[in-house]
Amino acid sequence: MFDYDEIDRTVRDNALALHKLGGADKESLLGRLHETFVEGNPRALWESFRYVPAMIDCNGEDPYLHLPDIIPADTELYFIIDYWNRDFVVFRGRMADIHVFIGDCDGLDEFYLMTTDCRRLYSVTDHDVLYHIDIDINVPKVAGLYPPGEAMDTPRLLLRRWRPDDAPALYRYASDSRVSELALWPRHESVEMSREVITGYFAPDPDVFAIVLRGSGEPVGCIGLVPRGAENHAVAEGEREVGYWLGYPHWGAGLATEALRALIGRCRGIPQIKSLLITTDRRNVASQRVALKCGFAFVEDYDHDGIASRAYRLAMRDDVR
């Protein structure tokens, strides 16, 4: 299991020459990281890079296998481990030692490698994508490319409003019973049914977004806020329920996590939203894992219309528990 003990064990058992930063040194280093590469204070740093990152093609393999090909073994780096979106563990050492650590540490899935001059950053995310930023080469992001509430950018996705011509893509994925059964809505039986769902429900709602792949432009899922009064669990004052689903071929690639983090970032800018709620079929372990990765905490198991369900909550303000 990935925890602080596992981090210490990996260093100890492999006799790695990694210097752990703490106190003022750690805070100073994290400050430089944010100042140079990150816009705002996102829960996951890669959500808000100041620069458009380059995505390094790993041919579907674990990025760990490709790191020695792009970073020489004797390169001195800061090794920054994202510990469950709550804390960072920071080491300084050579790439050779860091590579051994990455290969042996059980459960490690999101970390950053920054050169000691703070001009280059490598990011490995929990969906096995390797990003690289060189501030002398990469282009700064343009703020306000999409108006708030209209669309959201992530490295691999565009979250935008649904359109009637999305009906064939929606039907392609919403007609799959593997999706509808866990998402708890009727399986779509025709393209026309999908078009009616878009025009009657999705498109008129400003808080519902198609999850669109940047590479293909195809909608492969949906995410948004459940309409008030239609929640699947009792909500607290100022709380909104979040719903999301992905087409089956795209399960397990981290896209739901990426989309949910973007939606959370948008909701943090809405003062009226004090907390977010996620409910899932109790069998839907993958969706529950997405919630936990994005900082949601387990609330309770409960029964909803005869379906064994599970609820999670994310406080958006310090005064919410």
Note the pLDDT tens digit of each residue in 251-284.
Answer: 999 999 999 999 998 888 777 889 999 999 999 9
DSSP 8-state secondary structure symbol assigned to residue 204: T
The region of weakest confidence among 74-83, 91-100, 260-269 is: 260-269
- Tell me the HSE value of 66 on the side-chain side, using a 13 A CA sphere: 17
Residue 296 has pLDDT above 50, yes or no: yes
Look at residue 147 and tell me whether its pLDDT is greater than 70.
no
Residue 253's Cα: distance from chain center in Å? 11
Please report the pLDDT score of residue 142 as a whole number.
45
Residue 214 confidence (pLDDT) above 60 = yes
Q: Which of 45-59, 149-163, 204-218, 284-298 is predicted least confidently?
A: 45-59
Mean pLDDT of 74-81: 95
pLDDT at 45: 75
As to burial, measured by CB atoms within 10 angstroms (0-12 exposed, 13-18 middle, 19+ buried), residue 30 is middle
Instruction: Judge whether residue 166 has pLDDT over 90.
Output: yes
DSSP character for 145?
S
Average pLDDT over residues 158-177: 93
pLDDT at 38: 85
Helix, strand, coil % over all residues of the chain, rounded to 5: 30, 30, 40
119-146 residues labelled b (16+ CB within 10 A) or e (exposed):
ebbbbbbbbbbbbbbeeeebeeeeeeee
Say how far apart CA 35 and CA 294 lie, in whole Å.
23
